Structure 1
């Protein structure tokens, strides 16, 4: 490493650096003159990260389905950074994402893409799981479920991650066997949710998509090892963003949200800090800890969450066994036979 902020090199078996102190200073100067691509960068978390990277001197390309030129002009003016651009992109369309990466490379001052934030996402769209009138045996099939949430939150993320790795591997003048430094770094940041870890009964598709992002991260942080590509995952708690529907805001009224600035800070750090790799960051409300790491020892041992889950499943299995035993005893006492 080549900085006063340097930390130990990655674990040789699992591409994961030492535990991170989210409040510690890091080499923000390493962001300058690098190129960052962010999907869904026109609002919410993405917009906050765009502004922060622009302030630090990075070139930022936004891929978004919305028209965001006014936002781009605002960021250029407020930061004095002219290297902020937007490209219209439908993340659910592979060709549209290919076009995004191709144009981002053309716009990049250093003719490379150094870091990608697969941030585009939506909440639960439609009510596919709600009871609907249906009579079996009739000619009409049940209505097709609305797959928008899955298409954006996992198919789109897979496209972004896949293209990011392809472009990172073709990064000019970077040796594949060198560990990250301020001048030699490639980074992929994925965004999950607290729903990556816990059930969200009101949003089955959203819950499934965020669980899938966690699974994608767990694979990529290891398979990216040969190319020394950093992969990190953010799992924010509820944050006041456009993705939260009005009904959910009513239910959450009176509770604490996680702070947007905390998510933006750790996302920016994951994109720019070459010493952070292979980590999952939960972002809770500050009164319960704020930014925290989880699953740090996952490659070596089961984490606490998994151990508790296994214990719970074992208890359920044991209880089912006792219930079955009791039923058999009752049948035997009554002289009944089970087929």
Structure 2
């Protein structure tokens, strides 16, 4: 049985899977270094984790800020090496209908999705790896999505951002293994989170965030290279890659959805 991680850094701790993972890892003897953009929610999750016996350091952080992220990771590792780094920060958006025709996400939303979801996770992984390399040990986990397995017309840029995370993590695993660093990628399906509640469409086999967190913790303990859930949706999306184009397009109708724009999306301002 691998040693339980004692010093854990986690982005996106204020909501969704990141919040659930913070609570799952919060135990006596653990040091949690949590980050998120919402100071009020960051204070709330920090207090909840302290109530469970963990030592908690909370930092307001936007994963797009490389300088701030580097400083945060360095400060977290200042007194002892980090055992586990989990990148959970993410945003979502969907394609839109303009003049009776379908269009992809706006350019602004596309850039934000790629910068937060893809580059935010990738820069986190690189900086965490640089911190762990001198010690010859550590584990890095990145949250991707089952949307990484096949592009969905409802969210081309979101799928692209999550595919980038998945492929980068799989490559890093092989690159860093000789140095003693484990890298894992998590590909969730529908999980009941504030982000998924903005999604208008079917969400089959949806898990609670607590259930997802428990599964992720077990997968990381077992050092699974890739943990995707639930398996029926994962299998369905993988199979689409082997179907004729017309048949795949037919089945993709089952994954159609819209996402209500968040506060940063230009579409939210046009609706006000």
Relative to the length of structure 2, the TM-score reads 0.77
Q: Deviations over 1:16-55 (max 9, x none)?
A: xxxxxxxxxxx5xx326x2000000111111111111112
* Residue 118 (structure 1) aligned with residue 87 (structure 2): yes
* Residue 252 (structure 1) aligned with residue 202 (structure 2): yes
Alpha-carbon distance in 2 for matches of 1:276, 1:232: 7
SS at match of 1:214: helix
Alpha-carbon distance in 2 for matches of 1:305, 1:246: 25
Q: Deviations over 1:259-305 (max 9, x none)?
A: 3233201322344x2x515x2111118xx59xx8x8xxxxxxxxx94
Is there any run of 5+ residues in structure 1 with no aligned partner, and where? 6-26, 133-142, 177-184, 295-303, 317-339
Matches within 5 A, 1:199-278: 199-248=151-200, 251-252=201-202, 255-271=204-220, 273=221, 275-277=222-224
Structure whose residues are more often strand by fraction? 2
Q: Please state how far the C-alpha of 1:130 moved relative to its aligned partner.
A: 4.8
Aligned equivalent of 1:145: 108
Instruction: Answer whether contact 1:88 1:100 (CA < 8 A) is retained.
Output: no
* Residue 281 (structure 1) aligned with residue 227 (structure 2): yes
SS at match of 2:90: coil
Alpha-carbon distance in 2 for matches of 1:219, 1:312: 29
Aligned equivalent of 1:170: 134
SS at match of 1:198: coil
Distance 1:258 1:245, change over 3 A: closer
Q: Deviations over 1:168-226 (max 9, x none)?
A: 1022xxxx4xxxxxxxx410101111101123211111111011111112211111122
Aligned equivalent of 2:259: none
Matches within 5 A, 1:8-157: 30-31=3-4, 34-55=6-27, 57-67=29-39, 68-77=42-51, 79-81=52-54, 83-106=55-78, 111-124=80-93, 130-131=97-98, 144-146=107-109, 147-157=111-121
Distance 1:57 1:264, change over 3 A: farther
Alpha-carbon distance in 1 for matches of 2:159, 2:107: 19
Alpha-carbon distance in 1 for matches of 2:35, 2:205: 31
Distance 1:66 1:200, change over 3 A: same
Aligned equivalent of 1:322: none
Q: Give the alignment's Cα RMSD to 1 decimal.
A: 3.0
* Residue 190 (structure 1) aligned with residue 190 (structure 2): no
Q: Please state how far the C-alpha of 1:310 moved relative to its aligned partner.
A: 5.1
| Count of paired positions | 238
Is there any run of 5+ residues in structure 2 with no aligned partner, and where? 100-105, 249-272
Structure whose residues are more often helix by fraction? 2
Alpha-carbon distance in 2 for matches of 1:122, 1:104: 25
Alpha-carbon distance in 2 for matches of 1:47, 1:211: 23
Alpha-carbon distance in 2 for matches of 1:213, 1:200: 16
